[in-house]
Structure 1
């Protein structure tokens, strides 16, 4: 159990910095192994970007950051925690996703493959059959691919399962598919515009443009998961994921301290010994420190450049954040009055652009400019889970990307919110007249409420291939281990990156357990240290 040593410092087996979902996953797995675990959270509440509250009007629940969770639903990490025993349940909207074109046509993704196929068939003869064939191909690889992207690098077991299933030729073709830009990916798969729009709009959940390498992988992953398991939401809001993780942890003796902002990782003789909070309180870690914070914050702010290899510090100068974000929540007195009624049953709506429009939008962002006609990702939360608002109403949100900046003027954000509402009004005349409450979270507000969302960046760093796998967060091993012994990176800045799936936290916990094993821990440490010495020195 947690104890106070003779120096007055608190002692625990593991100190976890940050009570985001990755930190809570890591803490749970260590508690399962019998460790004494304390989590130190800088803010007053747990959850990081997985939280809900009434912020627009009484009786209207909003998911403050993230909402739909296909990766969380299929994640072996979260499934292995049996969070349903702690109150987590899931719901699905009637339609998974609708992409609205400027001419008011819509491409629909539905849990029934035949419904999706019928929608895509309206854009080009044969595209329905092409969709069904693509989905059959996905089902062959979905299991090992999910394992591959949620386990530590190198993903040996998942990679071998894929190789056995696909053989060499199939594996090579899958590798090619994984680096395709989504524009090329869609053009190779479909003749019409519907399928490519579903793929490209989903790819733009990341910070990648339709022309960037690797964007096809993200689009393909999200739409195929949508076809297979939907984009489900927790009943009662995103907060229920956090509540379940917290309940599970505390039931196993773990503790969370709030308003406990860590300002230093204590390092002696190359080993993490514990942490210090802003108030001067010391927490000694007998076995490990795990950090659910962005990589630059851990290395440069909490550890300090002087305790790190010079090459790692230099690499961090080239670390790239993903784009900034502005998110708006609305309380509506009635459902959204879409001109195209096909959108009424979709949990998520992509709004404001066809494929060429998405390319133009992304190019504007890459130039550091604000798009005049932003592409919106819209969530109809009451459609997905009626408990989000009173009967006959709607709890709606939309977010859009901005160029990455640490500082934005309030008038810039206000003007962009007006553009967002104009896009909604054009697709749903009368939308503005239904608004009974509104909450705007620009980059500053997102970072204030969750310090890990630096500049309103949601992904812990870009999703571009040059900052993935063994290049995440910088060129290295692609693992949670850091150059400081018994210090582990457990945030979205680590492989496999952003999304609510718990893999970075689980990977960090596994690494901490491997380092601490009585017979093999020293061997593990020597191997990791030798590999890092080759990379950083």
Structure 2
């Protein structure tokens, strides 16, 4: 079986890559280990009949704003978006609520209630964001270094404001909130948004995540696909099929065939060989690609050593509930929000992150919750609610069921405290701890949903390991297309798009020669020399546990 390109994994990044290659006239086949495409962009009825749950990811500000997904025209293949009345509510321990609304004046009024002048401060922050938004989002989603968009942003800002922006991008969100707002409302909105990642509010670089998600929420909202997250996947699959591409389920890849430093194709678990005339693109985590599918013997020793320092993001436990009625919030200001943050104020978020860093189960977990029927009424019967919540755990590859049960009980206690009577409304419940998440989607190693930590030391040209921050790998014609590649986790399609563009650039008759020479020279510079003594096992994952077959698509 032969195709121009073989894509390993039918997560959304793999499907984006396949679509862009098909647009260029390539014959593309996508091999998916599980029985269904989508990776972490899927939906199903798992709590009770008639209640639709997004199994993994759910709200999509980055997906909605993404020039990659927007450029695919997925609305022509059934994708439509829905917005909750309010974007986000942060419920504080005393039940005060800070609300982010797509109307900037309503957001400002909510924050003004926490501190005089914070409404004006929010309007100013948003006014500063608007001229930067398109260039900044485009810069984040292109290969590093983002020369064209970076120069455009520099030209728009000037040297002084560019340096101020650079400082803001490096600030811890705790410090950024103190600089931007006098009251706890605005600070909580920023910090809660930053905690969608695995990094602490006191970590350098956490500010950019809080600022980016909050500002996108103000600009475009945090929408959901009408009919569930599955609609994104279905639209990508339908678009690919219309261009002659195909997705093959139950086809776990166990080896990428290489010769003379070049990827030739793959072999699946059933023994079939799939030849790639032009490229292999892998929508799998970086350790799985390099250590399992390619194998250390075919890689530079320095790269193999660097992979022992690869860090996963935290483990996750997610719970879906079918509720017989709306969430009975003590403060009704939370009732209209699609996403709700609760369980901690700014100081509590720091304590929560500290417990995670120490490897402890937080006694008072911070919850990120989604009121799906509020956002999309078709998700459950009229007058009911399809609710989910998740919380972070320290990263581990093995969890005891009892530990997960304890944390789920703590999550439900948080909800009961802020929404008395919540438990009495539960008609069904579905718990996805780290083990279940990984069993159902092997790319979610240990329940880590981001493809690797969002910490600054594993971003840009350091993602997934020190190198170029690009999709190219030391194996010619092999490209990393997963969230382990720059710019990382989230449903926006950038890693898949970057991999497809790199594969196309590699094949250009004349320019491709210069491209290949530049990539080889860069890899020689990065990976030159012999590896030192055998490394100490990674704190993120023991070396002996790293090698494992994984071929389902990444988030």
Query: Structure 2 length normalisation: TM-score?
Result: 0.95
Could you give the per-residue CA deviations for residues 144-174 of structure 1, whole angstroms, max 9, x where no partner exists? 0011001111101110110011011111100
Which SS does the other structure have where 2:131 is aligned? helix
1:300 paired with 2:291, answer yes
Which SS does the other structure have where 1:119 is aligned? helix
Could you give the per-residue CA deviations for residues 164-206 of structure 1, whole angstroms, max 9, x where no partner exists? 1101111110000000000000000011111010000000000
Equivalent residue, structure 2, for 1:264: 255
Deviation at 1:415, TM superposition (A): 1.0
Deviation at 1:337, TM superposition (A): 0.3
Residue among 129, 135, 144 paired with 2:135: 144
1:281 paired with 2:276, answer no
Residue among 120, 141, 144 paired with 1:129: 120
Q: Distance in 1 between matches of 2:150 and 2:464?
A: 22
Which SS does the other structure have where 2:38 is aligned? coil
Could you give the per-residue CA deviations for residues 505-537 of structure 1, whole angstroms, max 9, x where no partner exists? 000000000001112212211110011000001
1:534 paired with 2:500, answer no
Equivalent residue, structure 1, for 2:433: 442
Residue among 291, 310, 313 paired with 2:301: 310
Residue among 20, 37, 44 paired with 1:53: 44
1:419 paired with 2:410, answer yes
Q: Distance in 2 between matches of 1:128 and 1:140?
A: 20
Could you give the per-residue CA deviations for residues 364-416 of structure 1, whole angstroms, max 9, x where no partner exists? 00000001110000000000000000000000000000000000011111111
Q: Distance in 2 between matches of 1:66 and 1:255?
A: 24
Q: Distance in 1 between matches of 2:374 and 2:366?
A: 21
Equivalent residue, structure 2, for 1:232: 223
Deviation at 1:235, TM superposition (A): 0.3
Q: Distance in 2 between matches of 1:348 and 1:132?
A: 22
Equivalent residue, structure 1, for 2:387: 396
Query: Structure 1 length normalisation: TM-score?
Result: 0.98
Q: Distance in 1 between matches of 2:171 and 2:331?
A: 32
Q: Distance in 2 between matches of 1:151 and 1:477?
A: 12
Residue among 182, 203, 207 paired with 1:191: 182
1:476 paired with 2:480, answer no
Which SS does the other structure have where 2:335 is aligned? helix
Which SS does the other structure have where 2:51 is aligned? coil
Q: Distance in 1 between matches of 2:330 and 2:495?
A: 42
Equivalent residue, structure 2, for 1:156: 147
Equivalent residue, structure 2, for 1:27: 18
Q: Distance in 2 between matches of 1:285 and 1:267?
A: 11
Q: Distance in 2 between matches of 1:156 and 1:469?
A: 13
Equivalent residue, structure 2, for 1:42: 33
Q: Distance in 2 between matches of 1:521 and 1:449?
A: 39
Alignment of 1:202-217 (within 5 A): 202-217=193-208
Q: Distance in 1 between matches of 2:24 and 2:395?
A: 40
Alignment of 1:56-71 (within 5 A): 56-71=47-62
Q: Distance in 2 between matches of 1:216 and 1:305?
A: 37
Which SS does the other structure have where 2:431 is aligned? strand
Q: Greater relative contact order: 1 or 2 (C-alpha under 8 angstroms, separation 6 or more)?
A: 2
Deviation at 1:417, TM superposition (A): 0.4
Q: Distance in 1 between matches of 2:513 and 2:400?
A: 51
Q: Distance in 2 between matches of 1:309 and 1:265?
A: 16
1:349 paired with 2:340, answer yes
Equivalent residue, structure 1, for 2:94: 103
Q: Distance in 1 between matches of 2:386 and 2:18?
A: 33
Q: Distance in 1 between matches of 2:336 and 2:22?
A: 41
Q: Distance in 2 between matches of 1:353 and 1:407?
A: 27
Structure 2 unaligned residues grouped into runs of 5+: 529-555
Residue among 67, 72, 83 paired with 2:74: 83
Q: Distance in 2 between matches of 1:221 and 1:172?
A: 17
Q: Distance in 2 between matches of 1:168 and 1:514?
A: 32
Could you give the per-residue CA deviations for residues 89-134 of structure 1, whole angstroms, max 9, x where no partner exists? 0010000000011011010000000000000001110000000000
Q: Distance in 2 between matches of 1:417 and 1:465?
A: 30
Q: Distance in 2 between matches of 1:73 and 1:457?
A: 23
1:176 paired with 2:167, answer yes
Which SS does the other structure have where 2:514 is aligned? helix
Equivalent residue, structure 2, for 1:7: none
Equivalent residue, structure 2, for 1:254: 245
Q: Distance in 2 between matches of 1:263 and 1:390?
A: 43
Which SS does the other structure have where 1:140 is aligned? coil
Structure 1 unaligned residues grouped into runs of 5+: 1-9
Alignment of 1:334-345 (within 5 A): 334-345=325-336
Q: Distance in 2 between matches of 1:162 and 1:321?
A: 31
Residue among 105, 112, 116 paired with 2:107: 116
